[in-house]
A and B are shown apart, each in its own frame.
Chain A
């Protein structure tokens, strides 16, 4: 088993991270369009998307079967399947892989839920280290407003209701997101995350991302040249 930081692949892996409502998925979609237009082979991989694990996760969420430990492990199972299936093969083939959420999401959420920091890091030590990991940092109140106004009903695990901080979903969600943000902030130096100020305009954030990614694309192969 090859552990974090030791993989050597010709492809590149860019990931976006951040609290819900930070706008990271929008930015990744724009990046995807740009790389495609430039002629690079691009693959997209999303958190919680393994077809092998999906039914189990869905059922567990619906029936409230998770504890912090099993929530962590089942998401790690999902991530392992994606790593073995969707991430490593394209990287070996020299493609660009874009990931919407990566191991840092697990580190932030699972630790906020009460799992031990070192244990969660050990569980995910098989992950490929990203070429760059962008952390879209939005002030807590902005992120919460974006989510709460868009979706009146917060989901049970999304709001961290399972941990029992508060009976009111919105209050629980606020506490949970605060803890998550704290974990992200401490990961910036631990993992060298690239912080993007998510309170600025979409265009400006995208320009900054493209500028930062550019130097990593020098030797990348293209499926067609422009």
Chain B
């Protein structure tokens, strides 16, 4: 097992695990959850057991973070540590056991988003990296990259989610309203991610394209991580149920819009 820094207490570095840890990273609204859902179904159809996880989903700290975020009294250091607690709980109790049992672990974001958020809040880079040093180095990190913050804003609107206080970085007072703040915050976020691409060896995928072509690329790359033969012709990506039948004409909306809606809980 390879860790970024100080290993988890009680874990032997020599130990190896049969599973694969695959990270899907990207800024808010690039379609991470859509792609994880697609990947999961596809991997399971090929016979792989899959665990998927993501930020604030821990049994230990998930609820506490959500509650703390509803008030605006969460300080910037407190927030980072709360998220770190959530992450380590999931690493120890979900990801690691699944990897030991031979699962493919798909994680929606990993330490990189947490580090990027901390950096945007002027938090010392050594500090946050040292805390997350307990993270396992993944088998692959796919960064779904979108060109501009404006594009992200459009996607957010088309998904019907609207702007969230924290995703817009409202605590940083970057703009007059949620939209201005969101654009400035995400612009900075994209910069930090670009910087981290080399540092952590992200596999960058251009997420401005259709869901279909991004998903096809992801599959090809995941196959390599799993050390399996390339997908056959019948594995062609079908991301949607048939769009039309005889009675209903095709809708003018793009695949992307519908998919994002579908992915909502």
Does B8 have its Cβ within 8 Å of any Cβ on chain A?
Answer: yes
Q: Contact at B127–A126, with CB atoms within 8 Å? A: yes
Q: Contact at A122–B88, with CB atoms within 8 Å? A: no
Interface string of A104-133 (1 = CB under 8 A from B): 000000000111101100110110000000
Interface string of B69-87 (1 = CB under 8 A from A): 0000111111011101100
Does A80 have its Cβ within 8 Å of any Cβ on chain B?
Answer: yes
Most buried by A among B5, B78, B88: B78
Q: Contact at B75–A84, with CB atoms within 8 Å? A: yes
CB distance from A109 to the nearest CB of B (A): 13
Closest residue to A126 on the B side, CB-wise? B77
Q: Write out the residue numbers on chain A whose beta carbons fall within 8 Å of the beta carbon of B94.
A: none
CB distance from B255 to the nearest CB of A (A): 40
Name 27 A/B residue pairs within 8 A (Cβ), A-sorted.
A1-B127, A52-B64, A53-B82, A56-B63, A65-B60, A65-B89, A66-B60, A67-B89, A67-B93, A68-B10, A69-B9, A69-B134, A70-B85, A73-B131, A76-B81, A77-B81, A80-B77, A81-B75, A81-B78, A84-B75, A84-B78, A114-B9, A114-B10, A119-B130, A122-B131, A126-B77, A126-B127
Measured CA separation A113–B9 after assembly (Å): 9
Are A1 and B123 also in contact (CB < 8 A) when A52-B74, A81-B75, A122-B130 are?
yes
Q: Write out the residue numbers on chain B whose beta carbons fall within 8 Å of the beta carbon of A119.
A: 5-6, 130, 133-134
Interface string of A52-80 (1 = CB under 8 A from B): 11011000100001111110011011001
Partner of B64, one of A55, A73, A83, A114: A55
Does A85 have its Cβ within 8 Å of any Cβ on chain B?
Answer: yes
| Interface size class of chain A, counting residues whose CB lies under 8 Å from the partner chain | 20 to 34
Measured CA separation A65–B62 after assembly (Å): 13
Q: Write out the residue numbers on chain B whose beta carbons fall within 8 Å of the beta carbon of A81.
A: 75, 78
Does B122 have its Cβ within 8 Å of any Cβ on chain A?
Answer: yes
Does B172 have its Cβ within 8 Å of any Cβ on chain A?
Answer: no
Tally chain B residues at the interface, Cβ within 8 Å: 36
Q: Write out the residue numbers on chain A whose beta carbons fall within 8 Å of the beta carbon of B134.
A: 69, 119
Q: Contact at B9–A68, with CB atoms within 8 Å? A: yes
Closest residue to A127 on the B side, CB-wise? B77
Measured CA separation A85–B93 after assembly (Å): 31
Does A26 have its Cβ within 8 Å of any Cβ on chain B?
Answer: no
Q: Contact at B85–A73, with CB atoms within 8 Å? A: yes
Q: Contact at A80–B60, with CB atoms within 8 Å? A: no
Query: Chain A interface (Cβ within 8 Å of chain B)?
Result: 1, 3, 50, 52-53, 55-56, 60, 65-70, 73-74, 76-77, 80-81, 83-85, 113-116, 118-119, 122-123, 125-126
CB distance from B198 to the nearest CB of A (A): 24
Q: Write out the residue numbers on chain B whose beta carbons fall within 8 Å of the beta carbon of A74.
A: 60-61, 85
A-B pairs, top 6 by smallest CB distance, nearest first, are A56-B64, A84-B75, A77-B81, A122-B130, A73-B85, A119-B6
Partner of A83, one of B5, B77, B122: B77
Are A125 and B127 also in contact (CB < 8 A) when A52-B68, A69-B8, A70-B89 are?
yes
CB distance from A53 to the nearest CB of B (A): 7
Q: Write out the residue numbers on chain A whose beta carbons fall within 8 Å of the beta carbon of B80.
A: 80
Q: Contact at B130–A80, with CB atoms within 8 Å? A: no
Q: Write out the residue numbers on chain A whose beta carbons fall within 8 Å of the beta carbon of B84.
A: 73, 77
Does B225 have its Cβ within 8 Å of any Cβ on chain A?
Answer: no
Interface string of B219-259 (1 = CB under 8 A from A): 00000000000000000000000000000000000000000
Closest residue to B83 on the A side, CB-wise? A77
CB distance from B42 to the nearest CB of A (A): 33
